[in-house]
């Protein structure tokens, strides 16, 4: 561990003092009111602002400010999280009905159709028109059927978003991930369908947020931040005007920004006062949001996002539900860039049925020679001489290697 790494420490927000330097707010960036995640603390007011934002833990840089002697280094804290995550990985996964390659083309059509639908719903809501549930339900059904065939196809494709189509594709992603989550928990089919509807419509209230605020590349003012925070309640009121929308979709729309510790909005619900499906939607919403590129934020890899959400579950989310979600999408979700012991990079294409640490991986890049290699599908669950005898040593950021793992989802 070099000196620089030793100076980055994970501390409880209650330990913050004026004179410390924040290296990372370690929180859901959507909900915090700070223009930067790195800054020197110069006043007690800034500390109160951190507490009021519901931020419980931060990373400080002791080389640039005051230290906390007994705090673990960031590397030690991450190693502890990784050890716990590995323990979650030993769980059965529901078998796939079709191969990834077989489902990808259908999933691409569904992705396009669903994004267009959400765009139209938002446009109608902005004009004050009622939402036509008759046009929404068939799309939710198509998404559900794709998830049942192979959840990695659609959820993998939905990780690809541009800054222009983020708002629409985020709603499609939340729908697909929530359906997959419900399915993995063997929830009732009707309940799953209603949850999917809630996921697809959960951000309807953003139709009332001016585009210059929704897509603002710089810091939001406090007033603009308040407008953004109104979208769950606004969406709830819009959906109330559509009698065919059930209570589940209404609940998900209003409460997907609530947090277990009561720091969410709009109703500041806490614990089990938040319905189970709204808690599930909150997890899915944050996971998809922090993995996406926005006009003011570069998304983080899915595997890293899962580990952050797991860390936040001590305060903001239901820990059991977070662990079940991690088993649902995989410790290394489909589309994740991973590094193997051999130094090769590959993209995860299919989870193993009982061991999430040993998925099928399509390797395509050698980090030792820094060149692309002939793609090769490896089943990490197989033994020596059968294509296996390799293991994942960690997940990687595609931007660091300047590679696009999504090009290699299918051999």
- pLDDT digits over 258-268, tens only? 999 999 999 99
Mean pLDDT, rounded, for 34-40: 82
Q: Which of 407, 348, 335 is nearest to 377 (CA)?
A: 348
What ranges do the domains of the chain cover? 3-74, 100-329, 337-408
With a cut of 70, say whether residue 403 has pLDDT above it.
yes
Task: Using pLDDT thresholds of 50, 70 and 90, give the confidence band for residue 185.
Answer: very high
pTM of the model: 0.90
With a cut of 70, say whether residue 370 has pLDDT above it.
yes
CATH 3.10.20.30 fits 100-329, yes or no: no
- Tokens of residue 408, six digits: 């290699």
Query: For position 402, what pLDDT does the model report?
Result: 92
How far, in Å, are 97, 182, 295 from residue 94 at the CA level? 9, 12, 36
- pLDDT digits over 195-225, tens only? 999 999 999 999 999 989 888 877 778 888 8
Three-state DSSP class for residue 134: helix
To the nearest 10 degrees (0 to 180), the angle between helices 74-88 and 302-312 is 100
**How many residues does this entry show for the chain?**
411
With a cut of 60, say whether residue 362 has pLDDT above it.
yes
SS (H, E, C) 287-337: HHHHCCCECCECCCCHHHHHHHHHHHCCCCCCHHHHHHHHHHHCCCCCCCE
Query: For position 103, what pLDDT does the model report?
Result: 93
């Amino acid at each position: 561990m070099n000196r620089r790494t030793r100076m980055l420490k994970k501390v409880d927000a209650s330990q913050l003092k004026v004179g410390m330097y924040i290296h990372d707010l370690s929180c859901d960036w959507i909900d915090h009111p700070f223009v930067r995640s790195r800054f020197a603390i110069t006043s007690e007011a800034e500390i109160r602002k951190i507490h009021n934002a519901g931020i419980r833990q931060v990373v400080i840089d002791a080389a640039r400010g005051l230290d906390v002697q007994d705090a673990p280094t960031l590397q030690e804290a991450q190693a502890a999280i990784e050890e716990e995550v590995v323990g979650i990985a030993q769980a059965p996964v529901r078998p796939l009905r079709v191969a990834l390659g077989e489902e990808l083309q259908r999933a691409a059509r569904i992705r396009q159709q669903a994004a267009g639908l959400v765009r139209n719903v938002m446009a109608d809501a902005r004009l004050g028109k009622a939402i036509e549930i008759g046009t929404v339900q068939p799309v939710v059904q198509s998404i559900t059927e794709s998830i049942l065939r192979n959840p990695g196809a659609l959820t993998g494709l939905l990780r690809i978003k541009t800054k222009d189509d983020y708002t629409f594709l985020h709603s499609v992603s939340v729908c697909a991930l929530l359906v997959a989550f419900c399915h993995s928990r063997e929830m009732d089919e009707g309940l799953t369908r209603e949850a999917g509807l809630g996921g697809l419509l959960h951000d309807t209230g953003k139709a009332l947020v001016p585009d210059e605020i929704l897509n603002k590349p710089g810091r939001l003012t406090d007033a603009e931040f308040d407008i953004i925070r109104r979208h769950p309640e606004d969406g709830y009121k819009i959906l109330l005007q559509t009698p065919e929308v059930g209570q589940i979709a209404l609940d998900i729309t209003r409460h997907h920004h609530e947090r277990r510790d009561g720091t969410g909005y709009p109703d500041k619900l806490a614990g089990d006062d938040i319905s189970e499906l709204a808690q599930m939607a909150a997890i899915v919403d944050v996971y998809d949001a922090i993995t996406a590129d926005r006009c003011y934020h570069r998304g983080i890899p899915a595997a890293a996002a899962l580990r952050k959400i797991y860390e936040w579950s001590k305060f903001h989310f239901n820990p059991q539900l977070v662990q079940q979600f991690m088993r649902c999408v995989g410790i290394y979700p489909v589309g994740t860039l991973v590094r193997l012991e051999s130094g090769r990079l590959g993209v995860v294409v299919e989870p193993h049925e009982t061991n999430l640490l040993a998925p099928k991986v399509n390797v395509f890049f050698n980090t030792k020679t820094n060149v692309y290699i002939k793609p090769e599908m490896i089943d990490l669950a197989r033994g020596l001489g059968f294509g296996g005898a390799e293991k994942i040593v960690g997940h990687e950021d595609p931007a660091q290697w300047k590679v696009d793992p999504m090009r290699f989802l299918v051999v």
